[in-house]
């Protein structure tokens, strides 16, 4: 367990700072350890696509396996994310630790899915859709389904709280969308994870696992999503998408404090 926590700590150190306006809110480290083991077991020997991954579960899964801390894991992992900083964090870590099975692709999920569409499974922890009844979740889920040619499995990480109304509406709408796409709910693992979320520190998320029905086929060709009703409140109330990609400003000193963050009050000169 100590080796696993320290490995996840390496990954956390490599993560870019979250951009709250795009609902980047990172999972707490203890929950990342358990979630990574669970994802590695679920996707053992399979090809796995991440539709967005600020949390960096993809890196943890590949790293824990490579280091021999767990002896199972996916055969290939590709992260599709619109934030270049997150894609670079994946590439930087994969290069440094020689994680040959891990790579990233800069992609906005409003655009057509770039392919390939023969992944065995997908994972997404999307914007949770509190202000759009989960429509934003369904956009990410749709891209995940496309990644598997509508024939694979998906793990969807969304808010789960029995006291609040909106997470229940969101969960119902995701399941409705899954059923309408000929997927069914295999299992739901309730209230597992906590986040660095100042205004709701106790809000938990669940894993909702879905699977395409045998013989399921893609309904139509992948298309961009441009329906204003689907996009209104995508990242929260009044926050429709306006950014295609988050562009990274390159830094050499990744993981270290930047000069703008501090100044020095000097010691008196020694006489
Ligand atoms: C929205 S956050 C959800 C919270 C999650 N715990 C996290 O921080 O990763 C999930 C990921 O989706 C990515 N994302 C947001 N909007 C996107 C878009 N339009 N296309 C692709 N990825 C997007 C973010 O960069 C982030 O990595």
pLDDT in tens, 188-200: 999 999 999 888 8
pTM (two decimals) = 0.94
For residue 24, report the distance from its CA to the centre of ligand 1, in Å: 6
Alpha-helical segments (H) within the chain: 2-13, 29-42, 57-66, 84-97, 135-147, 165-180, 228-231
Instruction: Give the residue among 173, 182, 175, 119 at the shortest CA–CA distance from 146.
Output: 119
The finding on whether 127 has its CB within 6 A of some atom of ligand 1 is yes
CA distance linking residue 160 with residue 182, whole number of Å? 23
Task: Print pLDDT tens along the chain (271 aa).
Answer: 999 999 999 999 999 999 999 999 999 999 999 999 999 999 999 999 999 999 999 999 999 999 999 999 999 999 999 999 999 999 999 999 999 999 999 999 999 999 899 999 999 999 999 999 999 999 999 999 999 999 999 999 999 998 999 999 999 999 999 999 999 999 999 999 999 988 889 999 999 999 999 999 998 777 888 788 889 999 999 999 999 999 998 766 666 777 777 788 888 988 8
Atom 17, ligand 1: which residue's CA is nearest? 82
The finding on whether 235 has its CB within 6 A of some atom of ligand 1 is no
- The phi and psi torsions of 113 (rounded to 5 degrees) equal -65, 130
34-55 pLDDT, tens per residue?
999 999 999 999 999 999 999 9
């Amino acid at each position: 367990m100590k080796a696993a926590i320290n490995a996840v700590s390496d990954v956390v150190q490599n993560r870019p700072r979250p951009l709250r306006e795009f609902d980047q809110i990172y999972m707490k480290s203890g929950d990342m350890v358990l979630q990574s083991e669970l994802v590695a077991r679920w996707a053992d020997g399979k090809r796995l696509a991440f539709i967005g991954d600020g949390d960096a579960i993809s890196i943890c899964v590949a790293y824990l396996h490579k280091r021999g801390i767990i002896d199972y894991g996916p055969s290939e992992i590709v992260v599709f994310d619109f934030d270049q900083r997150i894609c670079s964090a994946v590439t930087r870590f994969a290069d440094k630790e020689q994680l040959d099975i891990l790579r990233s692709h800069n992609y906005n999920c409003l655009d057509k899915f770039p392919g390939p569409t023969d992944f065995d499974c997908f994972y997404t922890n999307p914007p949770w859709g509190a202000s759009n009844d989960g429509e934003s979740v369904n956009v990410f889920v749709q891209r995940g389904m496309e990644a598997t040619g509508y024939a694979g499995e998906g793990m969807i990480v969304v808010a789960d709280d029995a006291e609040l109304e909106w997470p229940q509406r969101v969960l119902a709408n995701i399941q409705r969308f899954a059923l309408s796409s000929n997927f069914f709910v295999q299992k739901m693992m309730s209230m597992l994870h906590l986040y660095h979320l100042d205004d709701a520190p106790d809000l938990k998320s669940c894993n909702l696992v879905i699977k395409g029905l045998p013989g399921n086929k893609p309904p139509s060709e992948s298309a961009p999503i441009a329906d204003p009703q689907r996009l209104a409140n995508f990242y929260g109330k009044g926050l429709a998408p306006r950014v295609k990609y988050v562009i990274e400003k390159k830094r050499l000193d990744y993981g270290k404090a930047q000069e703008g963050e501090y100044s020095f009050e000097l010691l008196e000169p020694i006489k």
